[in-house]
Structure 1
Amino acid sequence: MAQPQPPQFLVDKLRLICLDLPECIEEQAWTGTRWTVRTKNFAHIVMIDSGWPPAYAEAAGSAGPLCVLTFRTPRPAAETPRFGRAPFFLPRWWPDIVGMTVDEHSDWDLIEDLLVASYCALAPKRLAAQVAALRG
C-alpha cells in the first residue's frame, strides 16, 4: 500500500515560506515532507489516511483523511492555551512540538509566523538573528 501524501498545493505553499529562510533544506521524510535547518526539523507536513501513520492519527484524534503540519515552539507547547484547541493539537513525543490541521482555508499568515518562530527556535543564533533583522 502506498503511503498517503499531502496535497501538492499545501507542500508548495509551505515551500514558499520555508525555503525563504537561510540554510533551510527541504527533504522527503519517512512520510510527507519536512524542512530542516542544520539537520533540525522545524516543519513537517503529513497526510493521515485510514489511521496511518498511527502516531499522527492518535495525536490529531482523527483517522483521516486529514493533512497535518507539525512545528516547534520556543517553549513547552502546553504553556500556550491556544495550542490546546482546534486547529491545533499537542503530540506527546516532544514537549515543544505542536500540530495543526491544514487545508486551503488555513490562515497562511499565521502559519508563516509559526514556522518562522519554529525555525528561529532551532536555528543557530546567528541565523535566527539574521531572520529577525530581515523581518524587523
Structure 2
Amino acid sequence: MNDYPDVPDEVLTVVSAVCTALPEVVEERAWTGIRWRIRSRTFAHVLVVEPGRPEAYAKAARLSAPATVLTFRSEAPELDVLLRSGPPFFRTPWGEDTVGMIVDEFDPDEVRELLTDSYCLLAPKKLAAVVDRPT
C-alpha cells in the first residue's frame, strides 16, 4: 500500500455519489486516491497531492501546500474555458483532454456537471445517451 494521505470524506462522499449514479461505473482504489471508470477508461480520479508528491501532480497544480485534486476529462470549448480560467483548474500532463481541479473548496453542482460530462465523453454512446446531463 502507499503512504499518501486519504481523500477527505466530505470530498469523497460527493464525488463518489455523482460517479456511482452513472451507468456501469466501477469505483476502485487507485495507486493513490480513488478512481471511477467506465469499462476500462478512467473518467475521474481524486487524490491528495502534497508539495512535491506525487511529483507530476504537484508540479502541474503548482502546489505549495497539500490539496485535494480531482482530475476529469473535458473537450473544447469547455476545456479551453476551464484551463484559461486558472485556479482551481490546471492542465495536467496526462493528455490534452484531462483537467485538474483543486477541490478543497468546491461547488457540488459544478463538480456534478463536470464529472457527468467527463463520463459522457468516455462512455459508449448507448450509455451516454441515457444520462440526465445537468444544465
TM-score normalised by length of structure 1: 0.89
Per-residue CA deviation, residues 51-83 of structure 1 (Å, 9 max, x unaligned), is 210010011011431111000013487x51332
* Distance in 1, Cα, partners of 2:24 & 2:59: 32
- Where 2:130 maps in the other structure, the secondary structure is helix
Aligned 8 A contact 1:74 1:96 in 2? yes
2:87 alignment counterpart: 86
1:55 alignment counterpart: 56
Aligned 8 A contact 2:69 2:101 in 1? yes
* Distance in 1, Cα, partners of 2:13 & 2:51: 24
Identity of aligned residues (%): 43
Aligned 8 A contact 1:57 1:64 in 2? no
Report the more deviating stretch, 5-14 or 34-43.
5-14
2:124 alignment counterpart: 124
Q: CA deviation at 1:93?
A: 2.0
* Runs (5+) with no aligned partner, structure 2: none
Instruction: Say what the alpha-carbon RMSD is for the aligned residues.
Output: 2.0
Aligned 8 A contact 2:7 2:33 in 1? yes
Question: In the alignment, residue 16 of structure 1 is paired with which amino acid?
Answer: A
Q: How many residues in Structure 1 have an aligned counterpart in Structure 2?
A: 133
Aligned 8 A contact 1:52 1:63 in 2? no
* Distance in 1, Cα, partners of 2:60 & 2:7: 17
Aligned 8 A contact 1:48 1:57 in 2? yes
1:99 alignment counterpart: 100
TM-score normalised by length of structure 2: 0.89
* Distance in 2, Cα, partners of 1:110 & 1:87: 12
